[in-house]
Structure 1
Amino acid sequence: MDTSKRRIALVAGIAVTVAAASVGGVNGWDRWKSRCSAHVAETPAKVLRSIQARPADQVDLAADRGSDSINPNAARGVLASARKPGGGFSPATRVLVSGADGRSADSVQSIGTADGDPILAVGPPAWVGSALKGSVVVLDRHTGQARWGRQYFGDAVQGRQLPGRMMVLQLTSRPMAASFATADGDITWCTWVGTDPVISYPPTFTSDAEDGQLYVVREPAEEAGDRSVLLSRIDGTSGKIAWEQPVDGVDRLSSLDTFGDQLLLSRWDPQMYVDDRWAALSGRTDPNAGAVVARSAATGDATWTYDGPDPSGWIVNVIGVRDDTAVVVARRVKADPKTGGPAGEALNQSWLIGLDRTGKERWRQDLGSALVYTLADDAKVADDVVITDESKSTDPKVRLVARDLTTGKVRWTKMTSRSGPTIKLEVSTVIDHQLVAAGANPRGGLQSIDLTTGSQQAVLTDGDIRNIVGDNKSITFVADGLVFTLDHT
């Protein structure tokens, strides 16, 4: 942007682009930038210097730890494993000890990459309204030093990337979105996401980015049960809010996914247990109570809903999207004929379904009662397949199934036991058509699965993997208070 001609002005909570000549030229720009900096200030140099990954053979856990949150024995185990990884990954060259300077193991999250360098959210989580601050930093993977950082406030931060830009949404008493260049952290815009404060906990606050646009859904401050969530589109280049629309009749959402010219909204938490799903739908007369809701990305207007494979009452969650197919899981709980309450596992039903951009079914697969518990760990879209982890509490066997995303046909199946090298789909990433996922068992390390054949290799044989991101060069993950980046060869 040419700063001599344009600036971003905050008017009634909405960022609008105006000619600099009409608002004071460069001075107007300076005032705007100063206001943005107050909310996403540069991370102090002292803090930035403390965020440094040391050579893997020079890590001194006793000296670097600075916090009782790291178990030295566990950290030594994952460190030794990362020095000799499998699955086509090179040994770790640098390691960030995330417990330094009072930061706990929970306070470092890998949220993206910038030209192969990991982007991390570092700092103590805080309650809404707290003055505590964390930082979004880019860690130079060759020198180990944080190149730049921007502070955020509040108890949650979301990172969304567009080419050359990192957008951060910070949940404070009044949510804000800010964008800065991934090369140097220079602010390009900031804007409040609405004018009213957040008053509930935990609030609805989620987002997605696609084709240069940022989409945000949040809840306004009216009384619970008498409101609709608000959906906004923010231009990723200027920060201008293009539109804001209420999603009528929906007071809470668990996810927002971009799907071509559509936005898909899932209402219910995908980790709901059987009894919770029963309570959510029992006695409701609204046939769309558990439906996926689609909105136009161009205007925010309603387009279609999908309420399950039949009108008998389902909770539907979006698993992921790719090209012209959105994969959803529809689950319901039948009534026990003896008690009238939620039935046992055998009467819980799960369907895996592919939808086109009009909301019509492309394919469906009846999974019986295989996806009963934590859905985020049971299903994932990975490249051109959808992976499901199908098991029952009464069966020691676990079945990992890969289906073609376009047709729903089974590509391969892997059988294992609960004591074997099972994986956590929720803690996984895709690199070079391999799914790299945390082991499901305690200290299960990392496993790599070829998405074409299903062949599996151990990347790490030890480690409690907390989160992971990847690109076409490497993976970055947090394990036992340490942050690693491993190159893929």
Structure 2
Amino acid sequence: MSLSRRRIALLAAIVVAMATASLGGVNGWNRWKSRCAAQVAETPAKVLRSIQADPADQVDLGPVDKSHLTNPNAARGVLASARTPGGGFRPATHVLVAGADGRSQDSVQPIGSVNGDPILAAGPPAWLGSALRGSVVVLDRNTGQAKWGRQYFGDEVHGQQRPGRMMVLQLTSRPMAASFADADGRLEWCTWVGKDPITTYRATFTSDVSEDGQLYVVHEPAEEVGERSVLLSRIDSTSGKVAWEQPVGGVDRVSSLDTFGDQVLLSRWDPKMYVDDRWRILNESKDPAAGALVARSATTGESTWTYAGPDSSGWIVNVVGTQGDTAVVVARRLKADPKGGGPSGDALNQSWLIGLDRSGKERWRQDLGSALVYDLAADSKLAGDVVITKESKTSDPQRLVAHDLATGKVRWTREASRSVPEIKLDVSTVVGDRLVAAGTRPRGGLRSIDLVTGKEQVVLTDGDVRNLVGDDTSVTFVADGLVFTLDHA
């Protein structure tokens, strides 16, 4: 959102220090940190009124300051497109201008929905010196009014949903999780994650919810303590009770956490890292399993198995998604030092798409060659019973390839061209039996792709679409500083 995590971490540390002093030293700090619920208080009525959508035919972009709506012409274009969408979607009825009331255009983001009404994380105003409380808000898509809101501290929050409740997690001076009744925002529980306040910047903080309602959270420890480790916690999503917290030894960072039956899967390394960094991790460490996928018991948190790739030659493994008894991963390695003057970058990369069972054994594998050139996880997506990969070499147009979840075999391929733009798999969602995804520049927009046949329809012709979420009947997204919800016919 509007303020960087590192800046927020610094500001949070200042707030912690001020709270400790004003409340009377250590004892005062202990009283302050025990007030978890105070960190998710109800959003004041004045703030709620500022987060509202206008009827689509009455939106006036004129009063919005250009510093908060960086491209008014692009906003007008996407607004016109959303009034007459294709692909079986109905016209937008209400539009929220994200750059209103001093917020930046990126500070209102969709994180879920309740019966078709979008759940938004609305960040604090952008300027320094203002309050640093954002709000999680449920917006009535028929009236444009906020039904309820709960505050959070800082510039970022992420959510997990269960039937009847919305859980939010935030990385402040002490990580925390809270659960609200999604009908009225009533606070059900709030709990701290970990035993100690975090006093320095920590990047790792992610979560997932299992089918039986357990919330799993992983974060870096408060301080550097001997052996590298992260902390993995299990929290009951009904009561908020922390069942256990376990250090994961030998792992000092996690890029993703996924539940998989009675397992919890941890991918270590950021799939967006540069090739030079991948080479350094896998070769300078002298550990062929440095990029391995780590599995822990969902019951106890203890180690169960690791998967280090198709062979023992050094791979970085990232989870694409899990469904039923199959976890889909992508494994990548470099065949030679990228600075060694050898083959081109395309020829250096090797990528495999792999299906694993719950014991970590391979069900199937598909050799993707050098087709995935940059971001392993964002260029692959599990959608229904297919796994979609975005493949290309540096000089070629990208193509989408749909693989059968059970076998990995190719079902269909979509070739990008001048008339068929590339899409962003990392900005996509499944609506029924279709994948709805953002198009790339110059025009962007939204595309709807049939998961069975690969046939495509245009939803929006224009718009730099970001932060797209959806359910079986609608999609909510941000495009050029405007927030839309489109219902599917």
Provide TM-score, normalisation by structure 2.
0.89
1:410 and 2:410 matched: yes
Q: How many residues align?
A: 456
One-letter amino acid of the counterpart of residue 297, structure 2: S
One-letter amino acid of the counterpart of residue 213, structure 2: G
1:37: Cα distance to partner? 3.6
Q: Distance in 2 between matches of 1:245 and 1:80?
A: 52
Distance 1:130 1:367, change over 3 A: farther
Query: In the alignment, what sits opposite 1:56?
Result: 56
Is this contact kept in 2: 1:36–1:189, CA < 8 A?
A: no
1:122 and 2:122 matched: yes
Is this contact kept in 2: 1:116–1:473, CA < 8 A?
A: yes
Secondary structure of 2:426 counterpart: strand
Secondary structure of 1:77 counterpart: helix
1:443: Cα distance to partner? 3.2
Secondary structure of 1:270 counterpart: coil
Q: Distance in 1 between matches of 2:418 and 2:197?
A: 45
Secondary structure of 2:259 counterpart: strand
Q: Structure 1 runs of 4+ off > 4 angstroms?
A: 64-67, 340-343
Identity %: 77
Deviations 1:183-236 (A, max 9, x none): 001101111101222244352100011221110000102328743101000011
1:246: Cα distance to partner? 0.9
Deviations 1:46-97 (A, max 9, x none): 1101111111000011135685334221111000000110111001111011
Is this contact kept in 2: 1:126–1:154, CA < 8 A?
A: no
Query: In the alignment, what sits opposite 2:456?
Result: 456
One-letter amino acid of the counterpart of residue 106, structure 1: D
Deviations 1:73-129 (A, max 9, x none): 1111000000110111001111011111111111011100111110000013899x9
Within 5 Å, which residues of 2 pair with 1:471-486? 471-486=471-486
Query: In the alignment, what sits opposite 2:323?
Result: 322
Q: Distance in 1 between matches of 2:95 and 2:388?
A: 31
Q: List runs of 5+ in structure 2 lacking aligned partners.
A: 1-30
Deviations 1:400-457 (A, max 9, x none): 1000111101110111237741100000000011000000223310011000000011
Q: List runs of 5+ in structure 1 lacking aligned partners.
A: 1-30
Q: Distance in 2 between matches of 1:65 and 1:260?
A: 49
Distance 1:126 1:74, change over 3 A: closer
1:285: Cα distance to partner? 2.6
Is this contact kept in 2: 1:379–1:386, CA < 8 A?
A: yes
Query: In the alignment, what sits opposite 2:46?
Result: 46
Q: Distance in 2 between matches of 1:473 and 1:271?
A: 32
One-letter amino acid of the counterpart of residue 268, structure 1: W
Query: In the alignment, what sits opposite 2:208?
Result: 208
Within 5 Å, which residues of 2 pair with 1:93-132? 93-124=93-124, 132=132
Considering only aligned residues, what root-mean-square deviation do their CA atoms show, in Å? 2.3
1:401 and 2:401 matched: yes
One-letter amino acid of the counterpart of residue 63, structure 1: P
Secondary structure of 2:351 counterpart: strand
Query: In the alignment, what sits opposite 1:27?
Result: none
Distance 1:66 1:285, change over 3 A: closer
Is this contact kept in 2: 1:208–1:216, CA < 8 A?
A: yes
One-letter amino acid of the counterpart of residue 388, structure 2: I
Is this contact kept in 1: 2:399–2:422, CA < 8 A?
A: no
1:459: Cα distance to partner? 0.3
Query: In the alignment, what sits opposite 2:20?
Result: none
Q: Distance in 1 between matches of 2:398 and 2:38?
A: 51
Is this contact kept in 1: 2:319–2:377, CA < 8 A?
A: no
